[in-house]
Amino acid sequence: MYFARRALLAVLAVLFLTLPATAQDKFITVASTTSTEQSGLFKHLLPAFTRASAIEVRVVAVGTGQAIKLGEKGDADVLLVHHKPSEEKFIAEGWGVKRLEVMYNDFVVVGPDSDPAKIKGITDVSAAFRKIAETKSTWASRGDASGTDLAEKEIWQALGIAVSKSGPEWYRELGQGMGPTLNTSAQLPAYTLSDRGTWISFKNRGPLQIVVEGDQKLFNQYGVMLVNPAKHPHVKVELGQQFIDWIVADAGQKTIADYKIEGQQLFFPNARKQGS
Amino acid sequence: MSEILSAFSIAFDLIVSLDRELIEIIRRTFLVSLSAVAIATLIGLPAGAVLAVVRFPGRRALVILINALMGLPPVVVGLVIYLVLSRSGPLGFMGLMFSPTAMIVAQCVLIVPIVTALSHQVLRELYEEYREQLCSFGATLPQMILTILWDGRRNLVTSVMAGFGRAVAEVGAVLIVGGNIAGVTRVMTTTIALETSKGDLALALALGMILVVTAIALNASAFLVGDAAPARQGG
């Protein structure tokens, strides 16, 4: 009995006492989107920043809508998200200090290779969406108020096609992140809108392939913002600003450009022309 | 099908190569869940014993409530803990959001009812058996509670391990309050959810297998310790 109990205690002691001492003392919390995390960009980008600055970056990857909520509540120091109207509203309401553009990629429409709506090769995304609606081909929507979800909803809205979680029947709102939505789309199968980064790094494609790409409307800009210390005094202004300065400067921009999967660049740095 | 097969070889490779990141994640998983279980045990076992021994008005209602709380939905618990620990919440000043501590709190809330309800179940039967004897010895209430806790210890292992099972398998609550931050709050279940999101089903399944195997190993060692304990009065 004593031996067994002591053995178990010893195991527990080792487990508890060898707490990782590797964590940096200085860290910031960045609320960002699933696309930047799930595409592997952060795994490539953040170690470079930590090496340069000795600041650890803790990323909470959620949809843009939720990331902005985390910023408003003060649970993050920096936001790196991709829905310009939401970001500008965040700044206008005083939750953020300043919005800087960091990088872009683009959205692609993916769908089953059987292509029931016959849209493969169309370059006008609005025309493609209209055909999907006309042929009542199954569409899988994120439905999670993420940047991708909002971008998709804007295209439907501009076409005057009413879609929501209550229908029409061919329109399926999943309420999930990009990866799970692609997993589901491959099974249904359905058309869906994905950011290119997540798509390139996604492994369970099934019958899905890119059907529409290259339209100006599919441009996907990422912005970075420091949460306003006037609203949340505990925000790590100095460390957060160091991260922002680094990511929009040459070092960060080059690291973003260097990230490739199978030779394809996933994100394109464009911090040069700084807007508001 | 190919995913299931390759999951086995990936799991094998990960274990054989002692993948550092994986070992970190496994250790963090057990650190968080065992802490939660330790706290839940300190609360749940005495609470279960008191419910078994002490008669007080509202006791039945309380037992029913605790039984019902065994089914608390993790996402709801996660959301409530988030709102409490958020910087804008009542305990925001503690800065616990997105930390392992927040995850321990969430798991605790989920499993205290389980440990309490199950140990109450065990101890109530034991108390029925012991009551006359204890009364004839003139045992005080604290003595009675200590006696049934001690003599019921082997069966109580099951109550505690049920709590551990829920804690270690849980994903909804720890995802919300932990944030699945790599190297800080990423545990086995949130890693599995992430890899599933990335469409890497084979890796996700491999991690799942490793989680199940380690949980079995921990359960087995807990029962071995329990069995090695000298049985007293058939307890």
Examine the domain organization and report whether A226 and A206 are in the same domain: no
* Segments forming the whole domain that contains residue A120: 106-218
Output the pLDDT for position A21: 45
What percentage of chain A's residues is helix, strand, coil (to nearest 5)?
Answer: 40, 25, 35
Q: What is the pLDDT of residues A26-76, one digit of tens each?
A: 999 999 998 888 888 999 999 999 999 999 999 999 989 999 999 999 999
Chain B residues lying within 8 Å of A75, measured CB to CB: 86-88, 97-98
Output the pLDDT for position A275: 45
Q: In angstroms, rounded to a whole number, what is the distance separating the alpha carbons of residues A88 and A221?
A: 13
| Continuous segment of H or E residues that includes residue A110 | strand A96-112
In a domain? residue A17: no
**For domain B2-227, which architecture applies?**
Orthogonal Bundle (1.10)
Output the pLDDT for position A4: 59
pLDDT tens string, chain B, 235 residues long: the values are: 677 888 888 888 888 888 888 889 999 999 999 999 999 999 999 999 999 999 899 999 999 999 999 999 999 999 999 999 999 999 999 989 999 999 999 999 999 999 999 999 999 999 999 999 988 988 898 999 999 999 998 889 999 999 999 999 999 999 999 999 988 999 999 999 988 888 888 888 999 999 999 889 988 888 887 666 555 444 3
φ, ψ for residue A30 (rounded to 5)?
-110, 125
CATH number of the domain residue A190 falls in: 3.40.190.10
Tell me the nearest-neighbour CA distance from A160 into chain B, angstroms: 32
In a domain? residue A275: no
Q: Which residue of A has its CA nearest to B2?
A: A204
In a domain? residue A11: no
φ, ψ for residue B105 (rounded to 5)?
-60, -45
Examine the domain organization and report whether A225 and A214 are in the same domain: no
**Over chain A, what is the mean pLDDT?**
89
How many angstroms separate the first and last alpha carbons of chain B?
A: 47
> Hey, are the CB atoms on A38 and B86 less than 8 Å from each other?
no
**% residues pLDDT > 90 (chain B):** 66
Which of A16, A61, A204 has its CB closest to that of B199?
A204
Is the pLDDT at A19 greater than 60, yes or no? no
Which of A58, A183, A205 has its CB closest to that of B184?
A58
- Pull the structure tokens for residue B101: 């501590």
How many angstroms separate the first and last alpha carbons of chain A?
A: 69
> Hey, are the CB atoms on B180 and A1 less than 8 Å from each other?
no
Output the pLDDT for position A199: 93
Examine the domain organization and report whether A40 and A171 are in the same domain: no
Q: Which residues of A7-37 are buried (b: 16+ CB within 10 A; e: fewer)?
A: eeeeeeeebeeeeeeeeeeebbbbbbbbbbb
Q: In angstroms, rounded to a whole number, what is the distance separating the alpha carbons of residues A194 and B59?
A: 55
Number of structural domains in chain A = 2
Output the pLDDT for position A235: 94
Examine the domain organization and report whether A101 and A225 are in the same domain: yes
Q: How many residues does chain A have?
A: 276
Q: What is the pLDDT of residues A256-272, one digit of tens each?
A: 999 998 888 999 999 86
Examine the domain organization and report whether A132 and A209 are in the same domain: yes
> Hey, are the CB atoms on B225 and A1 less than 8 Å from each other?
yes
Examine the domain organization and report whether A100 and A224 are in the same domain: yes
- B127 with B135: CB under 8 angstroms? no
Q: In angstroms, rounded to a whole number, what is the distance separating the alpha carbons of residues A41 and A261?
A: 10
- Pull the structure tokens for residue A151: 């971008």
Which of A1, A58, A73 has its CB closest to that of B87?
A73
Q: What is the pLDDT of residues A132-159, one digit of tens each?
A: 999 999 999 999 888 899 999 999 999 9
Output the pLDDT for position A69: 93
Examine the domain organization and report whether A97 and A224 are in the same domain: yes
**pTM of the predicted model as reported, rounded to 2 decimal places:** 0.84
Q: Which residue of B has its CA nearest to A185?
A: B199
Test the A interface: residue of B2, B186, B198 with most A CBs within 10 Å: B198
In a domain? residue A4: no
Chain A residues lying within 8 Å of B98, measured CB to CB: 29, 58, 60, 75
**B58 touching A, CB under 8 A?**
no
Q: Domain ranges in chain B? A: 2-227
**B87 touching A, CB under 8 A?**
yes
Q: In angstroms, rounded to a whole number, what is the distance separating the alpha carbons of residues B93 and B25?
A: 28
Output the pLDDT for position A276: 40
Chain A residues lying within 8 Å of B222, measured CB to CB: 8
The answer to whether ipTM exceeds 0.85 is: no
Asked which of A179, A196, A218 is the last residue of a domain, the reply is A218
Q: What is the pLDDT of residues A77-121, one digit of tens each?
A: 999 999 999 999 999 999 999 999 999 999 999 999 999 999 998
Q: What is the pLDDT of residues B201-227, one digit of tens each?
A: 888 899 999 999 988 998 888 888 766
Asked which of A218, A235, A254 is the last residue of a domain, the reply is A218
Q: How far is CA A228 from CA A76, A225, B128, B159, in A?
A: 10, 9, 62, 47
